Chains A and B, each alone.
Chain A
Amino acid sequence: MELNQYLEMFIEESKEHLQSCSDNLLELEKNPTDLAIVNEIFRSAHTLKGMSATMGYEDLADLTHKMENVLDAIRNEKIQVNAEILDVVFESVDHLEEMVMNIADGGDGKRNVSQTVAKLKRIESGEPILETIPTVVSSESVAESAATTIVSENKLQLEYDDFEKTVLLQSIEQGFNAFEIAITLDDGCLLKAARVYMVFDILEKNGDVVKSSPTVDRLEEEQFDQDFKVALITQTTTEELKSKIQKVSEINNVVITPLSKELFTQSAVVESEKPLESPVGAVVEETPSISPNEVKKEESNQKNTVVKHATSKTIRVSIDRLDILMNLFEELVIDRGRLQSIASEVNHSELNETVERMSRTMGDLQNIVLTMRMIPIETVFNRFPKMVRTLSRDLKKKINLEILGAETELDRTVIDEIGDPLVHLIRNSVDHGIESPEVRLANGKPEEGNVTLRAYHSGNYVFIEIEDDGAGINRERVLKKAISKGIVSKEAALSLSDKQINELILSSGFSTAEVISDISGRGVGLDVVKTTIESLGGNISIESTEGVGSIFSIQLPLTLSIISVMLVEIEQETYAIPLSSIIETSIIKNSDILNAHNQKVIDFRGKVVPLIFLDEIFDVPRAESKDDEYHSVVIVRKGDKLAGLVVDTFIGQQEIVLKSLGNYLTNIFAISGATILGNGKVALIIDCNALMK
């Protein structure tokens, strides 16, 4: 079957299911008794298993199946949730993620997970999770189950689909015997495939094999350890069958379990495929002693999940197509401008009406086109809870991660780039920021450290903050290190402000951790963070109080392609000044202009602000020299420095699409790009940072 066309969908959906698994696992860790959450995880795992089996990723399906067994046992209250079990399940989810990533990268999704599988098996059989060699344990557990009596097996060992179930049920109803046969080969068995063939030969002579685990193909390729299971419909009896199979040499053990109708009906309830209603029923039925209070809680939880499932449907569109759409739309905007001016000349009432209506529709369309590229930052944030959990376990710290403003929207291009820097910063906060529980207690802080991840809009920017209540930055140590590494000179170090010292840790070749850990890297991380953020047109600053904590604050432009500008006119030329650098506009009189060291300045709200005459800077050709009494000034800022740009007239504020000047014109002084105006003309965008030194 041609499955390639489904691959992308499979990968995306798998990621979604794994994400929901880990989200719910974290939730479960907080409320270990809430079986509704287990159900939720089980459902995700079950879907994932089905999908991966269909796509032919056996390892993926296999591991999910093992994990599902454990989850099943938990929700049937056979095992109690504890930290060790959750660790193993988390480990499995990690493995699954790796597999999916591998498949996404074009791999085959294979991975050695025998240790995790062994752990899952031990949990399922209620044994302690010991670090022993997996193969030994698995044969042990088989041996043990063989030692227990055949009748005590009251659970289906194999997984059946609907068709197989029906076949088995009907055969039982018609008086046939249905068995599950577990066969273990000798440890020293050389020709496993041959033995399997002989066993199958006997079985087929005596009845029909409904299912085998692993599949027949895999058995023939010897892709199994020592044991395999078969479901058989036959008229022979247990003893007869057993003796027949045992005639095959190199067979260690044969366990035959008769299947009854009840087993299927029981499992049918558990295995029901209807995700929305049945789990509630299942939970309530199987735990009749549950108190009404708990039932209520579960029901409300169930409601929550129902709401979650009703989220809007999406399709995936490549960003290139959105770019093309954007370009076409701009063309349309330009034509609309022309049409408007023609309509006003012609002054035909019906034409005017149509043009007006078209303009309105285009306004709406513009909003949609512009917001289509925006996605919530949640897509980046949602991988952090699990990461922090793993990190805090590895470091033996207690950390609570709080995420605020995950719904904040950012341009897709920014979202794609911001993930890695944030990972670095969070790792840094967890590793270097938060102290160990002992140190925290000794310092009179609560044992549990807090890391807060916050995102919010402000003006044309998005701010992302990572705050921790850890040790903060030891400025003395930072300075000493920076001087010893030659990042700053001793003399320069004296004049640095606290903030500047904090930001030294973002310089390359800097690592303050006494011991290099594999968690926050080798000191190359933070300067990469800084470079990435600056390449996105943003910046990063650090506030820190020693002993109280640190805040890493990232400022990012909302989008890389659309910006708000103020259009100004100088003689016949139109220029755009980014709104993000404008403080305000004002009109000044000639008498307000003062001279200081050959530089014209004005007094702006008590501050001396230098004036930059754009017509001089840009050599704008003047028909006649202008000598007005009044000047229009745009006050702009770079950091804490201000400047006043003198222009002829203000046109107004507008959203524009950023365009590059192409490869031929590079490094033009004080021009950061261009845009196309409604009248089809090109306007240049002024780079205020270059105008101020």
Chain B
Amino acid sequence: MTAVEQEFLKVIVFQLADKEYAIPVSNVQGIEKLMHITRVPKTQSFVKGVINLRGVVTPVIDLRERFGIPVLNNVETTRIIITTLDEMEVGFIVDSANDVLDIPMNAIEQQPEVVGSNEEDFISGVAKLENRLMILLHLNKILNP
């Protein structure tokens, strides 16, 4: 196997609790610092509300709550990752945005059977890179319950 022929997937890596997650760069529009969120009543609890993203009203969801991880108070490193899928723009609240990485396609494996929380539905695969384990997310499933 030669390095030249390898195919890579460019991803944004972010942190939720003690795990690292990844979303393909092609689905990410930007990373924003936390800003004022307007609550939208009568929506699911993980929908935190809407933000003003440079003149566009964009909904924001809390990924911790979506994955059933205990919710933390927002901290200095908290970021909103703006994702886009099928003309939908949605912001994800994450603990911190860590990295932009090229993951070789052959480093991506199907998800292991036991993960231990209800986040497994949203996982499309797992990538091992040196000492890091990154969980690749299935945007479609996160956005369409």
A interface with B by C-beta (< 8 Å): 327-328, 330-331, 334, 573, 617-620, 659-665, 668-671, 674, 676, 680-684
Tell me if A661 and B52 are in contact (CB < 8 A): no
Measured between alpha carbons, how far is A334 from B36 in the docked complex, in Å? 14
Q: In chain B, what residue has the closest Cβ to A619?
A: B41
Segment with Cβ contacts to A, from B64-72, B84-92, B125-133:
B84-92
Tell me if B38 and A661 are in contact (CB < 8 A): no
| A330 CB contacts on chain B under 8 angstroms | 55
Measured between alpha carbons, how far is A664 from B82 in the docked complex, in Å? 13
Q: Which 5 A-B pairs have the closest CB atoms?
A: A618-B41, A682-B38, A669-B42, A663-B88, A674-B57
Question: If A674-B57, A681-B52 touch, does A662 touch B41 (CB 8 Å cutoff)?
Answer: no
Question: If A676-B52, A676-B55, A682-B52 touch, does A670 touch B42 (CB 8 Å cutoff)?
Answer: yes
Q: Which of B38, B54, B59, B87 contacts A683 (CB 8 A)?
A: B38
- The 13 listed contacts between A and B (C-beta, < 8 Å) are A331-B54, A334-B55, A573-B39, A617-B41, A620-B41, A664-B59, A664-B90, A668-B41, A674-B38, A676-B52, A682-B38, A682-B52, A684-B41
Q: In chain A, what residue has the closest Cβ to B143?
A: A664
Question: If A661-B59, A662-B88, A664-B89 touch, does A680 touch B40 (CB 8 Å cutoff)?
Answer: no
| B56 CB contacts on chain A under 8 angstroms | 659, 662
Q: In chain A, what residue has the closest Cβ to B58?
A: A662
Segment with Cβ contacts to A, from B13-21, B43-51, B95-103:
B43-51
Cross-chain pair count, CB within 8 angstroms? 78
Question: Shortest beta-carbon distance, A274 to chain B, in Å?
Answer: 52
Question: Shortest beta-carbon distance, A689 to chain B, in Å?
Answer: 16
- Residues of B contacting A: mostly: strand
Tell me if A662 and B43 are in contact (CB < 8 A): no
| B88 CB contacts on chain A under 8 angstroms | 662-664
Tell me if B41 and A682 are in contact (CB < 8 A): no
| A662 CB contacts on chain B under 8 angstroms | 50, 56-59, 88-90
Q: In chain A, what residue has the closest Cβ to B41?
A: A618
Tell me if B41 and A665 are in contact (CB < 8 A): no
| B41 CB contacts on chain A under 8 angstroms | 617-620, 668-671, 684
Q: In chain B, what residue has the closest Cβ to A326?
A: B55
Tell me if B55 and A327 are in contact (CB < 8 A): yes
Question: Shortest beta-carbon distance, B47 to chain A, in Å?
Answer: 7
Question: If A674-B50, A682-B50 touch, does A661 touch B55 (CB 8 Å cutoff)?
Answer: no
Question: Shortest beta-carbon distance, A317 to chain B, in Å?
Answer: 20
Residues of B96-145 contacting chain A, CB below 8 A: 143
Identify 6 new A-B residue pairs, CB closer than 8 A, beyond the known A620-B41, A662-B57. Answer: A331-B54, A618-B41, A662-B56, A662-B58, A682-B36, A682-B38
Tell me if B59 and A618 are in contact (CB < 8 A): no
| B58 CB contacts on chain A under 8 angstroms | 662
Tell me if A684 and B40 are in contact (CB < 8 A): yes
Measured between alpha carbons, how far is A665 from B61 in the docked complex, in Å? 11
| A619 CB contacts on chain B under 8 angstroms | 41-42
Question: Shortest beta-carbon distance, A327 to chain B, in Å?
Answer: 5
Question: Shortest beta-carbon distance, A575 to chain B, in Å?
Answer: 10
Q: Which of A328, A663, A682 contacts B51 (CB 8 A)?
A: A682
